Chains A and B, each alone.
Chain A
Amino acid sequence: MSYRHTIDVDRCKGCGLCVAVCPKHVLEIASELNAKGYFPAYQARPQDCVYCSTCCIMCPDVAISIVELAEETV
């Protein structure tokens, strides 16, 4: 089972709550502004992500989603 973790860059308001709660310290605040003028969060260490969805639960803007990817055929 594989998953994809996506942060909607333009929904994110850069509040930093996801960064603070991620148990694996995957997330950081970017240094480029998004279209709304916020510095959004991003996965600095995506390889460490365990898709626990704690960041999703914390995010007030529903900016983060995790979807299941279809099984790749060999």
Chain B
Amino acid sequence: MGKTFQKPQALSDTPTHYCPGCTHGVIHRLIAEVIDEMGIRGKMVGIAPVGCAVLAYNYFTFDFQEAAHGRAPAMATGIKRVRPDLMVFTYQGDGDLASIGMGEIIHAANRGEKFTTIFVNNAVYGMTGGQMAPTTMPNQRTTTSPMGRNVAEVGMPIKVAELLSSLQTPAYITRQTVIKPKYIVKAKKAIRQAFEYQLAGKCYSFVEVVSTCPTNWGLTPVEAVKWAETTMLPYYELGDKKVPD
């Protein structure tokens, strides 16, 4: 039968500013659940991005830093190098991680910095109103690709999990999604695995989470789930891309 379900302690009571149906809320909750279950709230430091999740720090009940756009992996590097005992994660979106922050994420992963990145991939720049992202799908209409992403002009979407997996430094690199309950359960396990690797001081860990953006896709939350499933998942394949030896 059932089990009880309550808001985790690592999540604050504050109702979020995210749009109805935005999967940021699910991902925040999973992170908080894992933190509660591992009992590590007292040594957590989260790093908020610039993006829809810029106010992420309002929704968690542990230490948080606010990074400049794209620079969270550098800040996380600074923290882990001086305080390796702290548990650190960066929470980043398409623009933050895959555009302006591409240099920082590749180098942090390549150095094997022992923090965790949660990468929210919803194929668009949410906060600034729906512009094209490096992860926007071919022919996807956005406010800066009104005729649809023209891959002849701007290239194909970037598969960040695969890109990072090409680095030689051991890491845990995985792609998950939270668009349906069956995937959410797996995503939580992956986040748990990532934090376990960090707790053991083993490697860099990266969890890409295919997510929806109903508002900027111009779809209802339920339609957005369908679009993500039919258009994004065939391209952004789920699963572990790399595990440390």
Interface, chain A (partner B; CB < 8 A): 1, 3, 10-11, 13-17, 20-21, 38, 50-54, 56-62, 64-68
- Across-interface contacts of A65 in B (CB, < 8 A): 4-7
A58-B181 CB under 8 A given contacts A11-B15, A14-B20, A15-B221: yes
Q: Is the CB of A38 within 8 A of B20?
A: yes
Q: Is the CB of A53 within 8 A of B21?
A: no
B17-52 vs A: 1/0 string, CB under 8 Å? 011111111100100000000000000000000000
- Across-interface contacts of A60 in B (CB, < 8 A): 16, 18, 21-26, 29
- Across-interface contacts of B152 in A (CB, < 8 A): none
CB distance from B196 to the nearest CB of A (A): 21
- Across-interface contacts of B15 in A (CB, < 8 A): 10-11, 61
Q: Which residue of A lies closest to B222 (CB)?
A: A20
Q: Is the CB of A53 within 8 A of B222?
A: no
CB distance from A26 to the nearest CB of B (A): 12
Dominant secondary structure at the A interface: loop
Q: Does B83 belong to the interface (CB within 8 Å)? A: no
Chain B residues 195 to 235 lying within 8 A of chain A, measured CB to CB, are 214, 220-222, 225
Q: Is the CB of A61 within 8 A of B3?
A: no
Q: Is the CB of A53 within 8 A of B18?
A: no
- Across-interface contacts of B4 in A (CB, < 8 A): 3, 53, 65-68
- Across-interface contacts of B16 in A (CB, < 8 A): 60-61
Q: Does B124 belong to the interface (CB within 8 Å)? A: no
Cα distance A44–B6 when bound, in Å? 21
Query: 26 A-B Cβ contacts within 8 A?
Result: A3-B2, A10-B15, A13-B19, A13-B20, A14-B20, A15-B20, A15-B214, A16-B221, A17-B21, A17-B222, A51-B2, A51-B3, A53-B3, A54-B181, A58-B180, A59-B26, A60-B16, A60-B21, A60-B22, A60-B29, A61-B15, A61-B16, A62-B7, A62-B29, A64-B5, A66-B6
Q: Is the CB of B11 within 8 A of A62?
A: yes
Q: Does B1 belong to the interface (CB within 8 Å)? A: yes
- Across-interface contacts of B21 in A (CB, < 8 A): 13, 15-17, 60
Q: Is the CB of B26 within 8 A of A53?
A: no
Q: Is the CB of B2 within 8 A of A62?
A: no
Q: Which residue of A lies closest to B221 (CB)?
A: A15
- Across-interface contacts of B75 in A (CB, < 8 A): none
Q: Is the CB of B222 within 8 A of A51?
A: no
Q: Is the CB of A66 within 8 A of B7?
A: no
Extra A-B contacts (12), CB below 8 Å, given A15-B21, A62-B25, A65-B7:
A16-B21, A21-B181, A51-B1, A51-B3, A53-B4, A57-B5, A60-B26, A60-B29, A65-B4, A66-B2, A66-B6, A67-B6
